[in-house]
Copies of this chain bind each other. A is one copy, B any other.
Amino acid sequence: MRKAVVLVSGGLDSATTLAIARAEGFSCYAISFDYGQRQRAELDAAVRVTAAQGVAEHRLIPIDLTAFGGSALTDDDIAVPVHSAAEPDTQSNEPLAAGSAIPVTYVPARNTVFLALSLAYAEVLGAQDIFIGVNAVDYSGYPDCRPEFIEAFTTLANLATKAGVEGAHCEIHTPLIELSKAAIIQRGIALGVDYGSTVSCYQPTAEGAACGACDSCRLRLQGFAAAGVSDPTRYV
């Protein structure tokens, strides 16, 4: 079996991505990051997801992105924006700065850092495949979720490593990138993913209940509604 590194955050998208990698026949090496995120319940969810689906190994890598700050997810001084039910159903729209469409929940260079560390793991494993559940349809407008970012990282990966120099081709798999949230959920349900064990909320309670009001909760709720599937998440 070919080995693949799979980024598992504990959220809906990465749980689906792991199921797809397994369905494609890869022996999966999961990697999660303890980056000082507000939503610590995510990491417990990552452990549940990898245990439920089965992986060859699960690495939890500490990398303190709070040292840099600059995001509502890693800096206690920046609040996670919430939306009232009455608010128009627009895409995420809390700017980091005037004129920016990128929300304050964006963590500077997060996916670049996560993919770089996943590449290190893949290189040591001798794996040439990395799966990441980025999505450019129902997403929060983060620059590092776009197809052109993934293409640029693939180019980099093949220049950065011993394997690339020796002619091996590293591939970054993004099976969700063009799917709607509803389509992701339908795909996951078909593959037997238990979404009850995942956490999407940016600010869950200590008991793991989701707020239902942050951008991530809203995308999740809309996705389940559009998929015609009941959302097993516990909301406050």
Contact = CB atoms under 8 A, between A and B. Distances in A.
Interface magnitude class on chain A: 35 or more
B152 A124 contact: no
A166 interface: yes
B99 A109 contact: no
A61 B70 contact: no
Chain copies in the assembled complex:
2
A216 to B, nearest CB: 19
Contacts of A124: 68-70, 108
A160 B109 contact: yes
Main secondary structure of the interface of A (DSSP, over half): helix
Contacts of A112: 116, 119-120, 156-157, 160
Nearest to A102: B162
A90 interface: no
A162 B60 CA distance: 27
Contacts of A102: 162, 165
Contact of A123 (B63, B70, B146): B70
A61 B123 CA distance: 22
Interface of A: 59, 61-65, 67-70, 96, 99-100, 102, 106-113, 115-117, 119-121, 123-124, 143-144, 146, 148-149, 152-153, 155-157, 159-162, 164-166
